[in-house]
Amino acid sequence: MKTVHLVQHTHWDREWYFTENDSKAVLYYFMDDLLQRLEDDNTLGPFVLDGQTVVIEDYLSVAPQQETRLRQLIEQGRIVIGPWYTQSDFLVVGAESITRNLLLGQADCQRFGDAMPVGYVPDSFGQSAQLPMFLQQFAIDHAVIWRGWSEHNVPFSEFSWQAADGSKVTTAVLPWGYGCAKWLPDSPSACLTALQPILEKQTRFSLTGNVLLPNGNDQSPFEYRVPQLLDQLNQQQDEYRFVRSSFSQFFQSLESTNVTLPIYQGELISPKYMRIHRGIFSTRVDIKQLNARLEQTLSQHLEPLLALNWRLGLPYPQHAVDNIWREAMKSHAHDSIGGCNSDRVNAMVKNRLESGLEMAQQLIDLNMKMLAEGISAQLDGKKIIIFNARPQISAGLVEVTIYTPEQDFRVVDGEGNECRWQIVEEGRQDMSIIVQELSNSTETTWYRKCRLLLEVADIPACGYQTLYLQEGVRAECDQQVESVVKLENPWLLLEANKQGILTLTDKRNQQTYHHVLQLVDGGDAGDNYNYSPPFNDWLINSDDFLTSVTGQQGVLQSSLTLNWQMAVPEDLAARNARRANGELDVTMTITLAHTNTWLDVAISVNNTVRDHRLQVLLPTNVQQHIHFADQPFGLIERQNMPPEMAVWQDEQWTEAPVALYPMQSQVMMYDEKRGLCVLTEGLREYQIPENQQDVMAVTLLRSVGWLGQANMPYRPGRASGMVLPSPDSQIQGMHHFKLSLLAMNNGADSTFWRDVERVRGNLHAWLATGWSRFRTNPHGRVFPPHFSILSWDTELHFSTLKKAQHSDALVVRAWNPTARTLARGSITTNGEVAAATLAETTLQTDRHQESVPTCAPATCVINFGGEKTC
């Protein structure tokens, strides 16, 4: 006899085709009913509140007077909460976001009671291979998931899931989803009739006699009559024994069987039984870029800067930072960040991210102003603060924008030595927009506005250095710019022919890459969930549409700018008719710094056409069947051609398992002789085309006009979501993209990974003009002209530096991006260092001896004993 564990729950989408305002109104009445039913009948419960504490936050925002009632039921274990703050996507959002989601979610749970010790992920569009690692770092041993699993991954719905670093969690799959047993009839006989086919499907892949039966659905009311039917169901048949249960009770029963579970390692993105919606990785690329920018700004600029200033005695606005993270996480749910929403909701998602950036940038400006204010000038001139977030001494190129009335100026270091710089862009600036005192002036004050590329060296680790802008003094460094037709330095050569076709030569090993960075535009007959090619697509590349090529060489870098006017169809109907009645204006600027081993690429697209997808191609001529991409805190190996493509139609999969993949920012294909790696800013999708297995195609944008559609080539059958027009998802207008291209001359060796970290960079420059939109009183503290909190001798890649969540300590985190174990390395600081988990709990280990496995983070907590530096 099989034991059926009935778990009652709701799945609560905060927004989708409806807004969060709609959701809160429904939540008010849902929770009112739930609380009353549980209070009236002590036998009811436990009830799972979707594993996300934002539901509590939303409810109490509209019913604050109900907190005591809610808290009592949580403390009694009859309402089960957490461990997440929101039900996040795990393939598109960043590693720090996932970490903070659990960190803040568990903090919420501690305020109300205990967190559910289960990594419940009912609806994420695919599962990251890193999920077991994240859960184990927060002492969570179990996971319940839905989408992404099939027997092609592991033959049973219960298994031990292992991350690359060795972390394991016991995992149970809901093979037919969290809503498979929704809306059960009140009559025992009718209920049993309804359950028979459901249970037959639920038990099909079960390894033991314990079966999960989730009773609930999207925003569905509590089915309070179902539990009382269980005794009668047990009396009417002897195949199943029905019990009121929870996910934790299910795992206890599973473990009591002493059955050895199969071990699975890897991601779960199989769409055999449930759609994972390959296409959300590039839907609404404007939202993806905003989110990536916010994540980077928070974890690698604002938080490290606040940590620095906190050590210098300035306040750390913890609650303000947490609020930015929380608002960002409200945009990280699978639908929200996926962009598969109504236009109104996508506008709200975008607004939250823009608001977070606005707040973060204001905090950065105020803290840079306070930092500069405390530094006593060593020389004449305006102070330029170079801030280095990384825990290693850094050098390189950093951008800074200056406003000056003078034609001549120079930049010097603290010893008076002149720094080299190059003007990247120049214009005029109305200063009344910037200087508050000039805003009411009757005359316009115009200054030169120069965006400079500045060469700096020896910037202290997790610290700053002070330079000086001296105006009215002629610079000694040569600012002459020469015209060029190619880019070249000691490592790379890039040449363009008359059509604008680019050839890259790696001078280190004489390997040549032809036709790099070609643009290809094709049709998109899909929706917000899925890219889908038209049944007879018409691909148009950039080769025949070049209008100009210009190049220039400066003191620090050289650049080529290519302009195309691509004749393309204006919509799907025109593409089907082979009419090129629209135009895409595209500008690509490729930059090669004289000291860098990579190309920086900026692409601007005026998107005036619809129903299409634009990609940039990177042919590698590498004859391998695998490639690599980054994932949260790690690297993953993937097949160029998924073997399931041979069987998906015969097995009637819900979606084609095409080689359309997510990334955090990096994808690479290489062998022992050659290879290419691309690093992007906010572009989350790439493809290995079926007919070009040596090509990496990075999606720049896709334009579609529907939330959901039916019967697409890559996704046959019903429409996903709602058949609802979403014209804003055509994302008309100007779009700007950035990526960097690295040639690989010796595989993924340590030199390559150092270059990858250099590409990502963490140098920030700020000019202390004395102007400010907002006045503040002086803080009265004095800071040194240069300062460092700590240095970390490690090959690990930097993730964040922040104040600890619940103590007066600092947290510094790095991660191992390579496929091999790396030494943790030693930290030099005047505080006491202890290794810790992502949950910021101390580990009992010697940090100087411990190594860091592949795809693993290394977190250290530093306690300074309560003393500030200044």
**Structural element, H or E, at residue 202:** helix 188-202
- Average pLDDT over every residue of 99-122: 97
Residue 848 is predicted with a pLDDT of 45
For residue range 431-441, what is the model confidence (pLDDT) as tens digits? 888 777 777 77
Alpha-carbon Rg for the chain in angstroms: 28
Residue 415 binned pLDDT confidence (cut-offs 50, 70, 90): very high
Residue 850 binned pLDDT confidence (cut-offs 50, 70, 90): confident
- Average pLDDT over every residue of 780-800: 97
- CA-nearest of 150, 146, 163 to 217 is 146
Assign a CATH topology to domain 285-374+772-863. Substrate Binding Domain Of Dnak; Chain:A; Domain 2 (1.20.1270)
Q: Which residues contact 364 (CB under 8 A, 6 or more apart)?
A: 297, 301, 302, 305
Active site residues: 123
* 743 beta partners: 676
Residue 868 is predicted with a pLDDT of 59
Please tell me the distance from the alpha carbon of residue 474 to that of residue 870, in angstroms, as a whole number: 36
Encoded amino acid at 41, one letter: D
- Average pLDDT over every residue of 97-124: 97
As a whole number of Å, the end-to-end CA separation of the chain is 70
Buried b (16+ CB within 10 A) or exposed e, 225-246: ebbebbeebbeeeeebebbbbb
For residue range 186-232, what is the model confidence (pLDDT) as tens digits? 999 999 999 999 999 999 999 999 999 999 999 999 999 999 999 99
Please tell me the distance from the alpha carbon of residue 573 to that of residue 580, in angstroms, as a whole number: 11
Structural domain boundaries in the chain: 2-265, 285-374+772-863, 382-475, 486-760
Residue 693 binned pLDDT confidence (cut-offs 50, 70, 90): very high
Please tell me the distance from the alpha carbon of residue 308 to that of residue 259, in angstroms, as a whole number: 51
> Can you give the three-state secondary structure of 129-170, one letter per residue?
CCHHHHHHHCCCCEEEECCECCCCCCCCCEEEEECCCCCEEE
Query: In this structure, are strands 666-670 and 695-703 parallel, antiparallel, or unpaired?
Result: unpaired
CA distances from 101 to 282, 306, 422, 621 (A): 23, 20, 41, 41
Residue tagged 């697409």 (tokens): 712
Encoded amino acid at 667, one letter: V
CATH code of 382-475, in short, is: 2.60.40
> Could you give the percent of the chain with pLDDT greater than 70?
99
Q: Which residues contact 16 (CB under 8 A, 6 or more apart)?
A: 335, 340, 341, 342, 345, 721
For residue range 315-354, what is the model confidence (pLDDT) as tens digits? 999 999 999 999 999 999 999 999 999 999 999 999 999 9
Q: Across all residues in the chain, what is the average pLDDT?
A: 95
Query: In this structure, are strands 142-145 and 118-121 parallel, antiparallel, or unpaired?
Result: parallel
CATH superfamily of 486-760: Golgi alpha-mannosidase II; domain 4 (2.70.98.30)
Establish whether domains 2-265 and 486-760 are of one fold. Answer: no
Residue 849 is predicted with a pLDDT of 54
CATH code of 2-265, in short, is: 3.20.110.10
By CB atoms closer than 10 A (0-12, 13-18, 19+), residue 263 is: exposed
Residue 771 is predicted with a pLDDT of 80
pLDDT above 90 (res 844)? no
**Structural element, H or E, at residue 792:** strand 790-793
Please tell me the distance from the alpha carbon of residue 653 to that of residue 228, in angstroms, as a whole number: 37
**Dihedral, 779, 781, 787, 792 alpha carbons, nearest 10:** -70
> Can you give the three-state secondary structure of 473-505, one letter per residue?
CCCCCCCCCEECCEEECCCEEEEECCCCCEEEE
Please tell me the distance from the alpha carbon of residue 229 to that of residue 610, in angstroms, as a whole number: 53
- Average pLDDT over every residue of 779-804: 97
Q: The pTM is what?
A: 0.96
- Average pLDDT over every residue of 831-836: 95
pLDDT above 80 (res 276)? yes
Residue 316 is predicted with a pLDDT of 97
Please tell me the distance from the alpha carbon of residue 796 to that of residue 852, in angstroms, as a whole number: 9
Residue 743 binned pLDDT confidence (cut-offs 50, 70, 90): very high
Residue 246 is predicted with a pLDDT of 98
Residue tagged 């200044």 (tokens): 870
Contact between 341 and 15 (Cβ < 8 Å): yes
The DSSP line for 12-79 is --SSSSS-HHHHHHHHHHHHHHHHHHHHH-TT---EE-TTBTHHHHHHHHH-GGGHHHHHHHHHTTSE
- Average pLDDT over every residue of 559-564: 98
pLDDT above 50 (res 502)? yes
The answer, yes or no, to whether the previous bond of 460 is cis (omega within 30 of 0) is no
Encoded amino acid at 384, one letter: I
> Can you give the three-state secondary structure of 354-383, one letter per residue?
HHHHHHHHHHHHHHHHHHHHHECCCCCCEE
